[in-house]
């Protein structure tokens, strides 16, 4: 059967005219890549329009003295960057952001891991605990920021009332230069905790039970030894991912600052994104704002590269 | 060193009974294999021996020492897991050293960096390193000590897992399907290595598998389990030739044993596919009897006779030295497999009618519940329809 079918196919091909055959071959050769590019086009166009072009625009604007809504601009080279690094507000803002990140990241990771371990330890009410810890992450931050403002109100707020009832020192948390940044960082931890917890829970689920059994037999059966021998090393990849994502989210903090403190009192809670916003859209110094954006982008890209690099080298075991 | 004695161990998960009143004596230095299909409770039994699960009732003694309630690390048993369960972030040397570190160093001495400053830590660590390299050399993995498990092949990981168990010099080795993640060729090689290891160490080995070849080749004795119960404990050759339960007969042997149904007739004769076989039991006429016929218990008869069964060839499988011939017999729904040496089988054609003879003495009789009916007299087929 097979040879005769091939023969007849051959016959059909010789019967078609020469130009037609050539055309088929050309289409065959190019139709597949063309289809591929066509399919990639919508995604590619959106990526270019919403991401690549704006980034290029930011880099270009950062080298000009353009102000928002202005009709003229001129090229000023690196002057905006020199201004940025010479500006005490920017340096204050940069430092505040670093402090904020240094509180939020370890706090979120530590508490998130602790809660994940506690939830995983007992099967009862697992879904409930998961849900209540994850809620802050889902909630609209603007709305919960208002709730925090009420809680932290110097006279009527629940926090101060509870503190004074317990004989603890009270403060005007959001209006005191000493407390404002740590309090905002605590809100940041509260907000990111659920996210870290969910990722840690998934990571814990993926640890093979065999390893804990092997640890039991090898004698690593106390909670600390189990944690050190199996849990923490096996959570390495997840932890790396959570650290980077939470760090990026902490660098991006804006809503709580904008709603609760507007960078105040003084410049005590001024952070990078808030400076960027104020320079660009309140003072309309768009060129300067773009330079801050470039610095900000640099931080985010560095973090991401660190994540990729470390992930590839160290924390993946297979 | 002493034998392991398991008495009346039961275990259930919720309403499911996984182990039903298991009692078993394991001799000191014995290689005992627990064989059974998946879900028969064999791994649960192993975990109870290791202390990873707690039995609902029953007790376990290692020599004079009662193991019940002891934590795994205090039981003097080591386990090799199916997945090897190596710590992926540790080097081979650390993986193997861990059981010794946990035993010989206290929590402070194990503390990173600072622990090294404490007195005696350095000496103990050196001693551990020496023992690890001795065991590694014995297993031929001494050049791999600085690698991590991900950089090892399946066979090498397996050796590391065995090494981690060996460094502790336990009285009992528990092995949970240690070869099932290896490819066929490596499995044969590792099988030989495990056998050799047992011979060299002289420790008690309890080996869980669903692979009958492993059970038959490695063990001093085989325990066949099904549905949470022990069906038979016997030497490998007896498990094959003298099974006490239909499930044992069916589980052991490849190709599978042929089962044919017969009915008791008058005068202690059983009717099997038209042949009458004497069976020395006092069962009522019409009782269902199951007859197990190993593929090699069938032979080719030269010509049709009164003691031959006629059959038709339906499938021929060449296995090299042997040929499996699947035949259809009138009135029997399943195909029968017979094993023939190549020189006897090369002329057989598909669809060819054959005359088969039964090798008397190799037939296994079971009652309707699958219990073996032991016959004292040698079984010789009586003439076809002689009494019909």
Enter the pTM of the model.
0.78
Number of other residues whose CB lies within 10 A of the CB of residue A181: 21
Per domain, the residue ranges of chain A are 87-317
Bridge partners (DSSP) listed for residue B371: B245
A228 to chain B: closest CA residue: B111
Q: Which of B88, B99, B149 lies nearest to residue A218, judging by beta carbons? A: B99
Chain A partners within 8 Å of B99 (Cβ): 217-219
For residue A40, the model assigns a pLDDT of 94
Q: Does A103 contact chain B (CB < 8 Å)?
A: no
Across A2-16, A19-33, A214-228, B230-244, least confident range = A2-16
CA distance A310 to chain B (A): 14
- Give the model confidence (pLDDT) of A25-78 as tens digits: 666 677 888 889 999 999 999 999 999 999 998 888 888 888 777 777 788 878
For residue A5, the model assigns a pLDDT of 41
* Beta-carbon pairs below 8 A across chains A and B: 69
For residue A53, the model assigns a pLDDT of 93
The answer to whether the Cβ–Cβ distance between A219 and B50 falls below 8 Å is no
For residue B25, the model assigns a pLDDT of 92
> CA B189 from chain center: how many Å?
17
Query: Rounded to an integer, what distance in angstroms lies between the CA atom of residue A129 and that of residue A112?
Result: 12
Alpha-helix runs per DSSP H in chain B:
42-50, 92-104, 107-110, 114-117, 121-139, 154-166, 184-201, 212-218, 236-241, 246-251, 342-345
- Give the model confidence (pLDDT) of A160-193 as tens digits: 888 888 877 777 777 777 888 888 899 899 988 9
The answer to whether the Cβ–Cβ distance between A218 and B85 falls below 8 Å is no
Chain B partners within 8 Å of A317 (Cβ): 88-89, 148-150
Per CB distance under 8 Å, which residues of B are interface residues toward A?
Answer: 47, 50-52, 71-73, 77-79, 81-83, 85-90, 98-99, 102-103, 107, 148-150, 164
The answer to whether the Cβ–Cβ distance between B85 and A213 falls below 8 Å is yes
Angle at the Cα of A179 from the Cα atoms of A176 and A180, rounded to 5 degrees: 75
Output the CA–CA distances (angstroms, integers) from residue B75 to B4, B68, B170, in the order listed: 11, 9, 9
- Give the model confidence (pLDDT) of B163-201 as tens digits: 999 998 899 999 999 888 888 888 888 899 899 999 998
The answer to whether the Cβ–Cβ distance between B149 and A317 falls below 8 Å is yes
Q: Which of A219, A233, A318 lies nearest to residue B87, judging by beta carbons? A: A233
| Confidence tier at B96 by pLDDT (50, 70, 90) | very high
> CA B76 from chain center: how many Å?
24
Among A123, A217, A234, pick the best mutation site for testing chain B contact (most B Cβ within 10 A): A217
Per the prediction, chain B carries an average pLDDT of: 86
Chain B partners within 8 Å of A220 (Cβ): 98, 102
The answer to whether the Cβ–Cβ distance between B72 and A216 falls below 8 Å is yes
Q: Does A309 contact chain B (CB < 8 Å)?
A: no
Among A306, A303, A261, A259, which residue's Cα sits nearest to residue A93?
Answer: A261
Output the CA–CA distances (angstroms, integers) from residue B3 to A92, A133, B6, in the order listed: 74, 52, 10
The answer to whether the Cβ–Cβ distance between B77 and A213 falls below 8 Å is no
Across A246-255, B63-72, B110-119, B361-370, least confident range = B110-119
Q: What's the token pair of residue A176?
A: 């005191």
For residue B27, the model assigns a pLDDT of 92
B167 to chain A: closest CA residue: A218
Q: Which of B89, B102, B164 lies nearest to residue A236, judging by beta carbons? A: B89
The answer to whether the Cβ–Cβ distance between B99 and A217 falls below 8 Å is yes
Residue B87 has pLDDT above 70, yes or no: yes
Buried b (16+ CB within 10 A) or exposed e, B178-199: bbeebeeeebeebbebbeebbe
Chain B partners within 8 Å of A231 (Cβ): none
Q: Does A233 contact chain B (CB < 8 Å)?
A: yes
| Confidence tier at A275 by pLDDT (50, 70, 90) | confident
Mean pLDDT of B244-273: 85
The answer to whether the Cβ–Cβ distance between A208 and B164 falls below 8 Å is no
| Confidence tier at A10 by pLDDT (50, 70, 90) | very low
Is the preceding peptide bond at B324 cis, omega within 30 degrees of 0? Answer: no
Query: Rounded to an integer, what distance in angstroms lies between the CA atom of residue A280 and that of residue A275?
Result: 8
- The three-state (H, E, C) secondary structure of chain A, written as one string: CHHHHHHHHHHHHHHCCHHHHHHHHHHHHHHHHHHHHHHHHHHHHHHHHHHHHHHHHHHHHCCECCCCCCCCCCECCCHHHHHHHHCHHHHHHHHHHHHHHHHHHHHHHHHHHHHHHHHHHCCCCHHHHHHHHHHHHHCCHHHHHHHHHHHCCCCCCHHHHHHHHCCCCCCCCCCCCCCHHHHHHHHHHHHHHHHHHHHHHHHHHCCCHHHHHHHHHHCCCCHHHHHHHHHHHHCHHHHHHHHHHHHHHHHCCCHHHHHHHCCCCCCCCCCHHHHHHHHHHHCCCHHHHHHHHHHHHHHHHHHHHHHHHHHHHHHCCC
A212 to chain B: closest CA residue: B85
CA distance B179 to chain A (A): 16
- Look at the alpha carbons of B364, B367, B373, B377 in this order and tell me if their dihedral is positive or negative: negative
Angle at the Cα of B149 from the Cα atoms of B143 and B152, rounded to 5 degrees: 60
Is the preceding peptide bond at B217 cis, omega within 30 degrees of 0? Answer: no
Which class would CATH give A87-317?
mainly alpha
For residue B333, the model assigns a pLDDT of 80
Chain B partners within 8 Å of A208 (Cβ): 83, 85
């Amino acid at each position: 059967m097979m040879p005769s079918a091939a023969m007849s196919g051959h016959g059909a091909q010789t019967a078609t005219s020469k130009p037609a055959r050539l055309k088929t071959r050309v289409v065959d050769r190019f139709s597949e890549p063309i289809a591929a590019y066509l399919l990639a086009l919508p995604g590619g166009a959106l990526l270019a329009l919403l991401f690549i072009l704006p980034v290029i625009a930011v880099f270009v604007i950062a080298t000009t003295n353009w102000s928002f809504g202005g009709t003229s601009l001129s090229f000023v080279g690196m002057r905006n960057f020199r201004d940025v690094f010479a500006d005490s507000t920017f340096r204050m803002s940069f430092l505040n952001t670093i402090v904020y990140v240094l509180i939020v990241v370890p706090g979120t990771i530590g508490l998130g891991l602790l809660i994940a371990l506690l939830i995983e330890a007992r099967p009862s009410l697992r879904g409930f605990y998961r849900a209540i810890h994850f809620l802050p992450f889902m909630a609209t931050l603007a709305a919960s920021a208002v709730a925090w403002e009420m809680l932290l109100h110097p006279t009527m707020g629940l926090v101060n009332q509870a503190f004074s009832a317990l004989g603890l020192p009270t403060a005007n948390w959001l209006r005191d230069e000493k407390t404002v940044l740590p309090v905002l960082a605590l809100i940041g931890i509260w907000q990111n905790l659920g996210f870290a917890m969910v990722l840690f829970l998934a990571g814990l689920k993926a640890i093979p039970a065999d390893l804990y059994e092997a640890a039991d037999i090898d004698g690593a059966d106390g909670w600390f030894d189990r944690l050190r021998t199996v849990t923490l090393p096996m959570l390495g990849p997840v932890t790396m991912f959570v650290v980077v994502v939470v760090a990026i989210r902490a660098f991006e903090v804006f809503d709580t600052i904008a709603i609760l403190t507007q960078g105040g009192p003084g410049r005590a809670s001024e952070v990078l994104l808030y400076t960027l916003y104020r320079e660009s859209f309140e003072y309309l110094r768009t060129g300067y704002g773009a330079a801050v954006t470039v610095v900000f982008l640099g931080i985010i890209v560095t973090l991401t590269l660190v994540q990729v690099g470390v992930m590839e080298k160290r924390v993946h075991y297979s | 060193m002493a034998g392991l004695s398991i008495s009346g161990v039961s275990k259930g998960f919720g309403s499911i009974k996984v182990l039903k009143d298991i009692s078993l004596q394991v001799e000191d230095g014995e290689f005992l294999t627990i064989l059974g299909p998946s879900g028969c409770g064999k791994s649960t039994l192993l975990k109870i021996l290791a202390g990873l699960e707690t039995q609902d009732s029953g007790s376990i003694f290692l020599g004079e020492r009662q193991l019940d309630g002891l934590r795994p690390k205090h039981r003097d048993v080591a386990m090799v897991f199916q997945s090897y369960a190596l710590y992926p972030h540790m080097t081979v040397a650390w993986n193997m050293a861990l059981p010794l570190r946990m035993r010989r160093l206290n929590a402070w001495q194990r503390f990173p960096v600072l622990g090294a400053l404490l007195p005696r830590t350095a000496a103990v660590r050196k001693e551990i390193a020496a023992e690890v390299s001795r065991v590694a050399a014995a297993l031929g993995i001494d050049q791999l000590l600085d690698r991590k498990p991900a950089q090892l092949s399946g066979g090498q990981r397996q050796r590391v897992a065995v090494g981690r168990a060996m460094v502790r010099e336990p009285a009992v080795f528990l092995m949970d399907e240690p070869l099932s993640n290896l490819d066929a060729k490596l499995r044969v090689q590792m099988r030989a290595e495990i056998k050799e290891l047992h011979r060299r160490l002289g420790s008690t080995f309890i080996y869980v598998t669903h692979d009958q070849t492993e059970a038959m080749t490695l063990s001093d004795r085989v325990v066949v389990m099904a549905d949470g119960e022990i069906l038979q404990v016997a030497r490998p050759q007896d498990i094959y030739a003298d099974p006490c339960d239909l499930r044992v007969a069916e589980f052991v042997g490849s190709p599978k044993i042929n089962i044919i149904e017969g009915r008791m007739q008058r005068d202690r004769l059983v009717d099997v596919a038209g042949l009458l076989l004497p069976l020395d039991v006092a069962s009522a006429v019409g009782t269902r009897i199951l007859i197990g016929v190993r593929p090699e218990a069938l032979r080719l008869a030269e010509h049709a006779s009164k003691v031959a069964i006629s059959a038709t060839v339906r499938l021929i499988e060449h296995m090299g030295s042997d040929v499996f011939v699947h035949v259809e017999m009138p009135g029997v729904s399943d195909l029968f497999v017979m094993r023939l040496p190549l020189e006897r089988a090369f002329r057989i054609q598909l669809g060819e009618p054959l005359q088969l003879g039964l090798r008397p003495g190799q037939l296994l009789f079971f009652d309707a519940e699958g219990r073996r009916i032991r016959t004292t007299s040698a079984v010789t087929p009586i003439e076809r329809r002689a009494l019909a």
